[in-house]
Structure 1
Amino acid sequence: MDPSVRSRTISGALRLGVHPFMHRVPGHAPSIRTARSAVDAASRLLRAGSRVRVVPLADPRVESPGDRPVRGEWVVARDAPETPAEGAILYLHGGGYVVCSPRTHRSITSRLAVDTGLPVLAPRYRLAPEHPFPAALEDAAAAYRWLLDRGVPASGIVVAGDSAGGHLAATLAGEICRTGLPSPAGIVLFSPWVDLTCELSTRAQRRARDPYISAYAARRVARLVVGSAGFDDPRLALLTCAWADTPPVLIQVGGVEVLRPEAEALADALTASGADCELQVWKGQMHVFQILNRVLPEASAAMRDAARFIGSVTAPAPKESEVAA
């Protein structure tokens, strides 16, 4: 299906007004801090919507010496029952590991909460360059353990994220396996930034008509993310991970975005390892188009598909009596 008129209009405006700026974003700490301040200020104008409640979370984890504090927010549908959660979505926001926050991504987290009926935990993980990798992974893992410690079963948890948060969600899945934690029910990745070396996206830059993301700028930012350790940490390399015992994965990527080859390569790697991976390429859509689900019909449809997937992987197994019947 061809992109909607709204989609073409917004993409055209971004291609003319935003992409040239994004392409020239300098890769040094002062510019990142300036951009972060601007994004944070703009995010204060965003509203979560009347259908959800946003509850701040700040748990110092004093009962778990050595574990990271968990800070962020719960996003809960207003009509959700006041009962202990039997499932949850752990949502890791994008922003290149250097900008954004749970607040900037409330259009996604609130839609997930409403469409699935599950509470969404959006942690405020530490950002680079002040806190290079693996700081964000440590915070994401602490948030996952926090859910388990609060009685949410792993079989009811879906780990999700967009862009850099998609990379973080996939990296967290690998860390869960390596550390012996119980596996989540599923993983949802929106336009994941799979390869921080940006080799695939840089090769795709010339032919892609991404109205927003620049592979060259992403590569400059990635150097700040990895810090002095460089790209040698094996946890960064999603395409060479051993994806054994991986839960079902849904990947959604825009058809014109420069990160599309990375998403396709990750889907191939998962499938080759025997994982159940569903890849959706949305024709004509840009990077993390799902964030515009209140505006774009394609984004709204993509969010419904994500909710369908989450419902399918978190649905309780049928009882023996039901199977026999």
Structure 2
Amino acid sequence: MTSYDDLPAGFADIVAPSRQARALARALSLGWRPMVDRLNGRFVSLTVLRMALEHGTRLLRPDPGVRVEDLARTAGAPVTGEWVRPPEQRKGAILYLHGGGYAFCSPRTHRTLTSRLAADTGLPVLAPSYRLAPEHPFPAALEDALAAYRWLLTELPPSRIVIAGDSSGGHLAAATVGEACRSGLPVPGGVVLFSPWVDLSCELSVLSDREYRDPFISPALARHFGRLYVGDHNDWSDPRLTLLDCAGLQLPPFLIQVAGQEVLRGEAERLAEALTASGNSCRLQVWPGQIHVFQLFNRLFPEARAAVREAADFIRTAAGLDAAEQAA
């Protein structure tokens, strides 16, 4: 599971990441990580963090060819959010669940990734603004994600839908598919997870951090946000929270991409192993030298562009688009 053999041609033999990727990782390891380690999950102002991320990510420009449309409940949708539409749309959709520790970020902060996925696949991307903790703890985000998925099912066959997400959004995407299985909903054509946060208790990430020393994610801070999301729900074995028990679930194919030096790498490997052991299909790609959700920087890093292209190829196949083109 930990080899790089599944990377695309030209990247399987990477010894060192690109200059841009190295510069960002170094800046984070010297500035951001020491600061959050000192905080140790305390005195974190969510208001300041939310504002900083919302304004800071505007410096990352989305793909210029897409169109962003506001999604309002008044238009019949059960959630707010946005559509990110490519110039020429194909039949299908990507339900994208953004990351941010279940407590911050929004569809706007992730437009560099959703717009590139839309441009590379030809599929519109639905990015809901699901409710955030601590104002709306578990299971609010999952209820919103399921509502968005059910709404898409009224418009499209499930085989034409792919659910994707990054970090906590990766956890939410996997939980959504698992709950769809358990509740009798049809499953989507595929699932794409970028640096998924698998273990909200952070027991796995604490162990991994000793080996990988993530330049961005502090397990202590992640645990803080995990507790904010779980709230008063004390059953950590709830199948809507834990992702590693896949027994008996007939799930769609998964693609998991994770960075080689991030603290969530071990969690991604464990999830891939659990999916495979339960008879489900899973491709795991470990990208050496990259940081958490490096795909957001697809307009800056060659590795990020290649990773999103790999995800787009998987999505097209999972949604049956390539087969439809060959038949035509």
The two structures have a TM-score, normalised by structure 2, of 0.89
**Which of 243, 251, 265 is equivalent to 1:246?**
251
Task: Give CA deviations for 1:277-304 in whole Å, capped at 9, x if unaligned.
Answer: 0000001111000000100111010001
Q: What letter matches 2:238 in structure 1?
A: D
Task: Give CA deviations for 1:8-57 in whole Å, capped at 9, x if unaligned.
Answer: 11111111111122334464697223311322233455543321000000
Q: What letter matches 2:18 in structure 1?
A: S
Q: Is the 8 A contact 1:60 1:70 kept in 2?
A: no
**SS of residue paired to 2:117:** helix
Match of 2:172 in 1: 168
Cα drift, residue 241 of structure 1? 3.5
Task: Give CA deviations for 1:183-208 in whole Å, capped at 9, x if unaligned.
Answer: 10000000000000111110111221
Task: Give CA deviations for 1:123-176 in whole Å, capped at 9, x if unaligned.
Answer: 000000010111000000011011112x21110000000000000000000011
Match of 2:5 in 1: none
Match of 1:217 in 2: 221
Match of 1:120 in 2: 125
Cα drift, residue 317 of structure 1? 8.8
**Which of 9, 13, 25 is equivalent to 2:23?**
9
**SS of residue paired to 1:236:** coil
**Which of 153, 176, 189 is equivalent to 1:185?**
189
Match of 2:307 in 1: 302
Q: What letter matches 1:216 in structure 2?
A: A
CA-atom RMSD in angstroms: 2.1
In structure 1, the gaps of 5 or more residues are 63-67
Q: What letter matches 1:171 in structure 2?
A: A
Compared CA separation, residues 201 and 243, structure 1 to 2 (3 A): farther
Percent identity of equivalent pairs: 59
**SS of residue paired to 2:211:** coil
Q: Distance in 1 between matches of 2:75 and 2:39?
A: 37
Compared CA separation, residues 37 and 178, structure 1 to 2 (3 A): same
- Alignment: residue pair count: 311
Q: What letter matches 2:88 in structure 1?
A: A
Q: Distance in 2 between matches of 1:216 and 1:105?
A: 24
The two structures have a TM-score, normalised by structure 1, of 0.90
Q: Distance in 2 between matches of 1:252 and 1:126?
A: 25
Q: Is the 8 A contact 1:174 1:243 kept in 2?
A: no
Match of 1:51 in 2: 65
Task: State yes or no: 1:274 paired with 2:288.
Answer: no
Compared CA separation, residues 227 and 61, structure 1 to 2 (3 A): farther
